[in-house]
Amino acid sequence: MNSPSKENEKPTSSGTGVQDDAGVCEGESASSEAPRPPAKRPLSTAVIEISDTDSDDSDVCAVNSYQASADEVKRIRGESPWEDDSIVVDDNKVEIKPIVAQLNPRANRMDDPKLNPAIKVQETKDSLAANWKDFKDFTNNEITLTCDPFRVCLLNNFLANPEIINNIVDDMNTLDWERKKMDLYQFHQTTDLANLTWQRSIRGIYELLKTEVMSWVSEVTGIELTSVSASCSLYGPGDHLLVHDDLLADRRVAFILYLAPWAISPPAGTAGIENGSGDNHKQECGWGAHMGGALELLARGEAGPTHVARRLLPANNRLAFFKVHTDSYHQVEEVLSLELPRLSINGWFHGPAPPTPPPQPPPPPVYISPHNNPVRSYFLY
């Protein structure tokens, strides 16, 4: 539809000019004295008049072959209570703050490591101490004791706040590591934890080991313990520790606290989880057998260690300890993981050496009987 032409415009002023013989319109002289109001156009049914103000000035919108409804006109004018695509929001609705899940949650930096209270139950300690003394296996939800080839105790949930292990790993990234390499071992190690002062979480583990844990181990094993020495160890690809027994000076009990707070990758050649089939899949956290680095316990024969009798895999938040003795032969299997390191805090509880047994009497001498036939000697003069 075309806009109205000028021929259709009608003057709205009351003073209509009459042209005289000179060709001058009388209305023009009148308009010079007073402003002339704007002319209004007659609107057709297909034209929507939209006025944004309260004045008489109007904008005219011509629509070709389209007839706007009354509701649309109200919506365009802003008279509709809401837009067609508006969403009604309830003002009384309680705002729920979304919970952001953390893959590796961390404890408060001011928190200290705490020993699992289930391990400190007196009944549990008494049962473990009795089985330790009698060389009998023992197990419950928190503790595992095996006696073959020698006594090793595992505290499977050592810390009551395992999220602090991520803080410990963070502090490990700030330490100075020294490469240890010779024919017997190959790995990285830090200084003694007693020398570390500002790494709060690691310092907290050291204080826990030398107080509450040392007292607990002494009560369970019946061994007098007086001090602790510990350091952090990192085994990368190819690192290992060959057979040894830890028997040196005043070492009485050896311990290893494993730190593995990450989700492990599946072994090579294992089919991945298909899309949509992982709802019931439990992602394992810790360490896998395909990654190497197991603690291997060796049986002992008359001539020394013979073969690997037991393999203990690292597990996050697990403390392993055993009595240092002439038969405590063990080694760390070569690490095969190319992505994740084998991390631990390990060391010894020290104490006075046990009384040395008296030396065995020497075996009786073996006498050689003389020959029955005398030996003749010939001398030449």
pLDDT for 178 equals: 96
Kindly indicate whether the domain formed by 122-264+285-350 is annotated with CATH number 2.60.120.620.
Answer: yes
Residue 31, pLDDT > 50, answer: no
Question: Which has more confidence, 97 or 167?
Answer: 167
pLDDT for 89 equals: 59
Contact 335, 260 (CB under 8 A): no
* Separation between Cα atoms, residue 128 and residue 249, nearest integer Å: 27
**Average pLDDT of span 174-179:** 95
**Average pLDDT of span 249-253:** 95
Question: What tokens were used for 177?
Answer: 């590591």
DSSP conformational letter for 15: -
pLDDT tens, position by position, 38-61: 555 554 444 444 444 454 544 444
SS3 186: strand
Which residues, other chains included, contact 210 with Cβ-Cβ below 8 Å and sequence gap of 6+?
227, 228
Q: DSSP readout, 42-56?
A: PPPTTEEEE-SSSSS
User: Does pTM surpass 0.85?
Assistant: no
pLDDT tens, position by position, 281-326: 444 567 899 999 999 999 999 888 999 999 999 999 999 999 999 9
Taking the mean position of all CA atoms in its chain, how far away is CA 14?
A: 88
Ordered by start, the domain boundaries in the chain are 6-77, 122-264+285-350
- pLDDT class of 268 with cuts at 50, 70, 90: low
**Average pLDDT of span 167-171:** 94
Cross-strand pairs, 229:
348
Rounded to whole angstroms, what are the CA distances from 66 to 9, 47, 63, 72, 258?
Answer: 24, 9, 6, 12, 77
SS3 330: strand
